[in-house]
Structure 1
């Protein structure tokens, strides 16, 4: 602030308050605002001295003294505080608590927003750190429990493999003394045991594993089934990549006058697989789509895909359709396809729901790579939604919808990764953040208009067995895992126990019978097939080692495990038409599963030891294998990867028949009879029909 001096026509600076304090002992200098009659000349001389000094030497600064910090009481009473410690004079007189505190800074609104945002970031980091510490503790506990279980079961073993194996006994003894060694073939690529790795406890498909059907050709007992230039050496992924694109006509005219049967069929036959569309929200979706002419918005995509999948579920499998006949639901899908490109660039729960339905119809069309492309986009949307709006902060129905989309994406991505070497989306990293679905909230008006019920039983059972299958892949078939067969026993027993628990906890409507008969419930049929698929892969390690060294079958545990694997493989393909029950979501996966089980049974029938575990005669086995090969050939028209599997099986069947013809002895069958050479010749003639 500047003032005009009384005797000088210049502007001069107001002195700091600490100068007033410094010269307060002079009675004539009271303040810079003292009237002229009360010592103005003396004060003016002081100010002139201050001004002159400041002008003469800019480097000389007037001394500053920090103002005394007033206590809270003096500050509130607006009185001068003497700053005495521990109590000032006023607080001492009032017998009050004397508290000295620095006066806070006056913050602008922008500063407050910055501080608030920094506080939120600090809170998020702290929460993430706590979660990471908790996960680390859980992983350590699980690892310790697994190690203790393994040690306890190994101590209970009454004999060792070294007393059983006649060939390679040195290797067996080393395997017992060091679990790092293995009886397993290097072709299956198990490098190191990594039981303490974090990835072992993430319930997703490992990035490198040996379970796809084409990996079986690397086994020394299965590789001879192929000729010198087998088609199976071509990667299924490259075959699907070079596949011609879909030919769609988005301008086709739709007949929306008779859509109610399609809607009813969807909620009855398709939605239980996915549980992706709330029957209580269907009327709302349809009204919005109708108002937009089915030409814009995710609601239009959802309605069109519900109609497409509903029409598809009313017809037989694509493998049974006549050549050049129209594909059920393709017109509805073609109309939705231009709208899909618009919702790919937006992030909302309903957009992710529409993309998941798009992927579901591509699975029906047996387009695995296109389905994976849309599924990956869905996974990215889900991860973005979870990062910005955690599920616990969402309203119930939005949270429920997000959970269902998440588990659909995780389950079907795992199905794809089990057969194709595709990149992971990383969606499995959010398993701890997303709970299991519990049901939508409906009001009576919505329930009365709903086209179906909100059935979650199959969906929850499918999630559970898919997670168990992923666990099996990690613990037994990851290429970063190497274990001796003796160290596999407790792991296999534990995984089989979990499979039994899964079956026993199924609801009565889905608890299938193990009898060899067809089931009336298509969802129970699909669950039974997935049960035997899981059982076969759990016990497959015993068949693999027994194929390399049949003397291992003298061990009752290995013999029992191999027997369970052989029986599960048989149950998978003895009635191959059962796989039609899941043709909407699982036609591609089921075809490749049949191919792998056929290869395993071919290898078993050529083994003198393992063939004794068969519950059927070789003639009946030839019929089962032939029917399975015919099914894969029929399905081969739907996808290049299935066609490659069919060609490989035909090639393997020719080599298998040649090996069987070279056997000039009778083979003992597990039921206790002998098959003569004449019967075997009839069997081989039956096998040759496919050729």
Structure 2
């Protein structure tokens, strides 16, 4: 009996009896094999393991659509077809009928049967967002405008040649050159104390306050000395000329004063920069804090005149200079990067502390400026992997160390300006690091076995929202964002814009799903939570245009990036509106409704690009595409 039981466990029927088992006087009979349709089924081995587990020679739990091991490591789970040899006729008929039904569903879907009414909250089928295998995680982060223009819902094949304008940036200058109708107020080669004081005040009040990379007292002394002794070919002269160029083109944030290409201020700034550019060649052959500062300020000026590619190159070169700084090499480096030994101020004298502050400040400014531009420019050899984000350095720059002797001789205005600039600087860096960390968590997110990827992300979103709220509440009083955007100064204006960038990252997977996953056959169960998050995402795109409107005509380091992100938001809103329109015409239910005031946001983006189109080829191209898209959705 034991031997027979063992054979049955292996799924093998005994085919004969021995002579000793037969009745006396009877011939041994062969036992006929049991037919396939009998009511009792032989016990059989488990279903064959998937290819990954079979290669590893480990047990497979055969979960669908992916086994536990493949889901854990992110591998593609390929499971062999089920062996039908042991199925009874009734089961085979059921499977055959299911195949027929599947074929009917597929044929009806392709012939237009998808217009049949669907349940609001359930959609059959599978999709990369419905499962967590074979997911294109690059879609979980905000896309470039070039990628958005390829969305099927926009149907831009007829104006696809317009996207070539984005490629022109690698062939010639981005800005539109206009011959100045006025002459500069004074020659850059002859610095005059009376004029340079105004330029220095403009620079430190409106430019340096957002990137405190210089020592104001030392910089003013350098400019004063050059006014007395003349401009030479030293890095100090290059710094002075770049400071004057930026001071000439800078204006207060809350004023109606603007600098156009045909203005005297623009011509003056151009004259100073031309003189500084002649000295940049000497700077490139050396490495030090002054050299890194020169290259960074040159990049900041390029951003102000919409030369983003040239600005990015200057930021890259500035960051390359920083690689030789002592604080990067003398710091204790571990598996997670640079640790806080760089802040051991108690072991440094005042001059060493100031040198460390200067090194860290220029390093951080060059680093974040380069990384902010790189994803948008998509330089062929400098593209970040689609599923990789820029992980910010694990330390904060150290504010200037107070000196009682020096502080006693400084004005209250200077002390307040330095305090505000460093409050802003550290707040912005902390926000960028938070954004980077959340983006990395979204890209690497793994759901539970009993939930889809999008559902898992939706449940984790509340934690990301809480982190953003905590950052807002932790801001110092001088940087608080609790007031109305209309009351913002330039620092709060920039911080509020970066906060919108963070929320865009948090909600992007849900906005992308509602636009690019069709309501029929997408496999997404649009729960109230998913609907709410997608609606929040679209609302943040509208809010971006509203928050940035006060700075639409303000020329500064971040203006090109602001134009780019505002245009992206407008295109996302148009895409969502087109999907809603198409589904309404087909009688299908869209998981959400368009938020109110979205049309005004798109119009605002067109106004923004129209204002700058005479200076930026990119704005001119984006304006044209927005106008075409706007006509299709009106």
- TM-score bracket, shorter-length normalisation: 0.5 to 0.7
1:408 aligns with 2:365: yes
* CA separation of 1:633 and 1:405: change in aligned 2, threshold 3 A: same
Counterpart for residue 513 of structure 1 = 482
Alignment partners' CA distance in 2, 1:519 and 1:540: 29
* CA separation of 1:449 and 1:319: change in aligned 2, threshold 3 A: closer
CA shift for structure 1 position 441? 3.6
Alignment partners' CA distance in 2, 1:414 and 1:318: 31
CA shift for structure 1 position 264? 1.9
Q: Secondary structure at the match of 2:214?
A: coil
Q: Which has the higher contact order (CA 8 A, sep 6+)?
A: 2
Q: Secondary structure at the match of 1:366?
A: coil
Q: Secondary structure at the match of 2:602?
A: helix
Alignment partners' CA distance in 2, 1:290 and 1:376: 31
1:366 aligns with 2:306: yes
Alignment partners' CA distance in 1, 2:149 and 2:160: 10
Alignment partners' CA distance in 2, 1:593 and 1:645: 11
Counterpart for residue 409 of structure 2 = 448
Counterpart for residue 499 of structure 1 = 468
Q: Deviations over 1:231-258 (max 9, x none)?
A: 4432625435322798999975545232
Alignment partners' CA distance in 2, 1:338 and 1:637: 27
Query: Do the aligned residues in 1 keep the contact of 2:500 with 2:540 (CA within 8 Å)?
Result: yes
Match of 2:245 among 297, 301, 308: 308
Alignment partners' CA distance in 1, 2:613 and 2:147: 19
1:489 aligns with 2:471: no
Counterpart for residue 171 of structure 1 = 126
Q: Deviations over 1:92-143 (max 9, x none)?
A: xxxxxxxxxxxxxxxxxxxxxxxxxxxxxxxxxxxxxxxxxxxxxxxxxxxx
Q: Deviations over 1:654-688 (max 9, x none)?
A: 2223xxxxxxxxxxxxxxxxxxxxxxxxxxxxxxx
Counterpart for residue 241 of structure 1 = 171
* CA separation of 1:388 and 1:546: change in aligned 2, threshold 3 A: closer
Q: Deviations over 1:391-421 (max 9, x none)?
A: 6498211111111011101211121023111
Give 1 or 2 for the bigger CA radius of gyration.
Answer: 1
Q: Secondary structure at the match of 2:615?
A: coil
Counterpart for residue 48 of structure 2 = none
Q: RMSD of the TM alignment (CA)?
A: 3.9
- Count, aligned residues: 466
Query: Do the aligned residues in 2 keep the contact of 1:364 with 1:584 (CA within 8 Å)?
Result: yes
* CA separation of 1:232 and 1:210: change in aligned 2, threshold 3 A: farther
Q: Deviations over 1:560-618 (max 9, x none)?
A: 211211211111113653234863111100111111110111123331666954442xx
Query: Do the aligned residues in 1 keep the contact of 2:207 with 2:556 (CA within 8 Å)?
Result: yes
1:230 aligns with 2:191: no
Deviates more, 1:395-404 or 1:272-281: 272-281
Query: Do the aligned residues in 1 keep the contact of 2:168 with 2:174 (CA within 8 Å)?
Result: no
- Structure 1: give runs of 5+ residues left out of the alignment: 1-146, 149-162, 194-208, 658-691
Match of 1:180 among 112, 120, 133: 133
Match of 2:570 among 569, 588, 598: 598
Q: Deviations over 1:249-299 (max 9, x none)?
A: 997554523222222222222212101112232343335544652222222
Query: Do the aligned residues in 2 keep the contact of 1:276 with 1:401 (CA within 8 Å)?
Result: yes
Match of 1:541 among 506, 509, 513: 509
Counterpart for residue 611 of structure 2 = 634
Counterpart for residue 621 of structure 2 = 644
Counterpart for residue 565 of structure 1 = 537
- Structure 2: give runs of 5+ residues left out of the alignment: 1-70, 73-118, 332-341
Q: Deviations over 1:500-547 (max 9, x none)?
A: 2221111112112365x5124221122112212221232021111122
Q: Secondary structure at the match of 2:126?
A: helix
Query: Do the aligned residues in 1 keep the contact of 2:174 with 2:307 (CA within 8 Å)?
Result: no
Query: Do the aligned residues in 2 keep the contact of 1:263 with 1:306 (CA within 8 Å)?
Result: yes
Counterpart for residue 530 of structure 1 = 498
CA shift for structure 1 position 634? 2.1
Counterpart for residue 217 of structure 1 = 149
Alignment partners' CA distance in 2, 1:374 and 1:562: 38
Alignment partners' CA distance in 1, 2:591 and 2:612: 29
Query: Do the aligned residues in 2 keep the contact of 1:605 with 1:611 (CA within 8 Å)?
Result: no
Alignment partners' CA distance in 1, 2:619 and 2:489: 27
Q: Secondary structure at the match of 1:234?
A: helix
CA shift for structure 1 position 311? 2.4
Q: TM-score, normalised by structure 2?
A: 0.65
* CA separation of 1:348 and 1:443: change in aligned 2, threshold 3 A: farther
Match of 1:350 among 270, 290, 299: 290
Counterpart for residue 33 of structure 1 = none
Query: Do the aligned residues in 1 keep the contact of 2:299 with 2:311 (CA within 8 Å)?
Result: yes
Match of 1:623 among 589, 592, 600: 600
Alignment partners' CA distance in 2, 1:553 and 1:529: 32
Q: Secondary structure at the match of 2:563?
A: helix
Alignment partners' CA distance in 2, 1:477 and 1:643: 33
Query: Do the aligned residues in 2 keep the contact of 1:382 with 1:402 (CA within 8 Å)?
Result: yes
Counterpart for residue 436 of structure 2 = 470
Alignment partners' CA distance in 2, 1:462 and 1:386: 25
Alignment partners' CA distance in 1, 2:146 and 2:431: 23
Q: Secondary structure at the match of 2:487?
A: coil
Alignment partners' CA distance in 1, 2:165 and 2:408: 49
Alignment partners' CA distance in 2, 1:535 and 1:244: 29
* CA separation of 1:175 and 1:344: change in aligned 2, threshold 3 A: closer
Q: TM-score, normalised by structure 1?
A: 0.60
Alignment partners' CA distance in 2, 1:540 and 1:364: 29
Query: Do the aligned residues in 1 keep the contact of 2:303 with 2:557 (CA within 8 Å)?
Result: yes
Match of 1:324 among 262, 267, 290: 262
